[in-house]
Structure 1
Amino acid sequence: MTELDRYLHAATRDNTRRSYRAAIEHFEVSWGGFLPATGDSVARYLVAHAGVLSINTLKLRLSALAQWHSSQGFADPTKAPVVRKVFKGIRALHPAQEKQAQPLQLQHLEQVIGWLEQEAVVARTAGDRPGLLRAKRDSALILLGFWRGFRSDELCRVQIEHVQATAGSGITLFLPRSKSDRENLGKTYQTPALQRLCPVQAYIDWITEAALVRGPVFRGIDRWGHLSEEGLHANSVIPLLRQALERAGIAAELYTSHSLRRGFASWAHQAGWDLKSLMSYVGWKDMKSAMRYIEASPFLGMTRLPEKPLAT
């Protein structure tokens, strides 16, 4: 790989690259399309999958086709008038119903963390090293994900070298890149210590128990209690969260990794945060993104936790 290719490769995120490859394969192999494509063939492809694939998936397929043609020096067929008109018609006849993750309400956050704390006590008493580590890891991941409003990919990229945590005070961490950081400038996040459900103490307990000094904060744990050298994959956060919730007696099928982010946003909204403070804290660039995450119904069982914006 040349230096030029290396920088071009770095400009596209891994998840986007994989999605684009899958989209091109679907057009060319599964559907039988020919590349380079024409506007008419792209329009027929859209018609063939209208009502089958979601609007967002079709948009991704168009973006992948546009990127392929541009990178290969061909004219972009997705800009053809017939493609634009067909896509507009699909949106009219098959309006997208946005699916949103169930927000993790505060009483459920208390319930699952309480359960994980009990699991840790039982595991330590029984000499169950893998069980103890999983309970500590899951508590730290859930609490940090909730109180910082992190996405699953952001949680999985946190590195110990980029974290400073002081018990009873707060935690500061740096992420070199994130979905909202389009310029890859990196961003520093801060969260104070809390009297209850504290992400700072949970983080300290986890890395202390696991004896971690460098590398990914959140890792896989095998049946013998050995920690992986690699960080968790973002896709593993959903089953991890659901399993913890189910063990705590909470129906978890509607929860995803976005439930932590939505849960925090809804809590902050009910606690009286203004929208500007919430957007700044979580990292949203536009009001529409923020409003999608805010749950209008009030939380039950609120505990005495910060009512003003946390430190940023």
Structure 2
Amino acid sequence: MSDLDRYLQAATRDNTRRSYRAAVEHFETVWGGFLPATADSVARYLVAHAGVLSVNTLKLRLSALAQWHNSQGFADPTKTPVVRKVFKGIRALHPAQEKQAEPLQLQDLEQTVAWLEQEMKEAREKQDRPLLLRACRDRALILLGFWRGFRSDELCRVQIEHVQAHAGSGITLYLPRSKGDRENLGQTYQAPALLKLCPVQAYIDWITEAALVRGPVFRAVDRWGNLSEEGLHANSVIPLLRQALERAGIAAERYTSHSLRRGFATWAHQSGWDLKSLMSYVGWKDMKSAMRYVEASPFHGMARITDKPLSS
């Protein structure tokens, strides 16, 4: 691969590249379209999948087709009036409420961490190293993900070399790139040590127990207690979280990795954080993105207006 190709490839994130490749393959192989495509064929493709695929999925498919045509030097059929109008019609006739992850409530976080700590205690007594490592890792990942509002891919890309943790004080993490960092300038995140549910002490305990000195922080643990050299894949965070919740006696099917991020945003909002501070802490660039994550009661604050019950 030439230097030019490497830089061009680095300009597009791996997840986006995979999604685009799958979208183009779907257009060609599954639906039977031809590339380069005409505006008519793209419009018929949209019509064929309207009401079957979500509007967001169709939007991603259009972006992938646009990127393919632009990179190959062909005119972009997705920008033509007929395609735009068909897509607008689909949005009007097939509105769908956006699915959002259930926010992880603080009491559920506390219950899960208490269970993981009990597992760690029992694992030490039984000298069950695989169980000890998994419980210790899961506690650190869940607490860090919650209190920093990290996405799953950000958690999986944290490197030990980029972390400074001081017990009783705080933790500083540097991520060379993230979803919100469009210019790839890198970003530094901080979190304080807490008296309860502390992400700093959980991180230190995990690094110490696993004897890690460099490389990915969060890794797979096999049945014999051996750690992988590679970091966890972002897709593994959802089953990891759900399994921990289920073991703690919490119905977990409605939770995803974004539940940690939404859970923190909900807690911060209900604790009185102003939106600007929350956006700065989590890394949102616009208010619309922030409001999608904030879970608030529609009657929040009404008790201060009237002493009467809202219903008779």
| C-alpha distance in 2 between matches for 1:97 and 1:267 | 23
| C-alpha distance in 1 between matches for 2:217 and 2:200 | 13
Structure 2 residue aligned with 1:248: 248
Counterpart amino acid of residue 12 in structure 1: T
Which 5+ residue runs of structure 2 have no aligned equivalent?
Answer: 299-312
Structure 2 residue aligned with 1:128: 128
1:91 aligns with 2:113: no
Alignment of 1:203-282 (within 5 A): 203-282=203-282
Normalised by the length of structure 2, the TM-score is 0.95
Alignment of 1:105-144 (within 5 A): 105-144=105-144
Residue-pair matches, total: 298
Counterpart amino acid of residue 137 in structure 1: R
For 2:150, what is the secondary structure of its paired residue?
coil
Alignment of 1:1-312 (within 5 A): 1-297=1-297
| C-alpha distance in 1 between matches for 2:33 and 2:278 | 45
| C-alpha distance in 1 between matches for 2:166 and 2:231 | 23
Identity %: 87
Instruction: Tell me by how many angstroms 1:97 deviates.
Output: 1.2
Report Cα offsets for 1:202-242 as digits up to 9, x if no partner.
Answer: 00000000000000000000000000000000000000000
For 2:27, what is the secondary structure of its paired residue?
helix
Report Cα offsets for 1:169-221 as digits up to 9, x if no partner.
Answer: 00001000000000000000000100000000000000000000000000000
| C-alpha distance in 2 between matches for 1:237 and 1:200 | 20
Which 5+ residue runs of structure 1 have no aligned equivalent?
Answer: 299-312
| C-alpha distance in 1 between matches for 2:100 and 2:32 | 33
Question: Structure 1 stretches (4+) deviating beyond 4 angstroms?
Answer: none
For 1:260, what is the secondary structure of its paired residue?
helix
Instruction: Tell me by how many angstroms 1:3 deviates.
Output: 1.0
Normalised by the length of structure 1, the TM-score is 0.95
Counterpart amino acid of residue 72 in structure 2: Q
Counterpart amino acid of residue 233 in structure 2: H
| C-alpha distance in 1 between matches for 2:217 and 2:211 | 11
When the two chains are superposed, the root-mean-square deviation of aligned CA atoms in Å is 0.7
Structure 2 residue aligned with 1:309: none
Counterpart amino acid of residue 264 in structure 1: F
Instruction: Tell me by how many angstroms 1:297 deviates.
Output: 3.5
Counterpart amino acid of residue 216 in structure 2: P
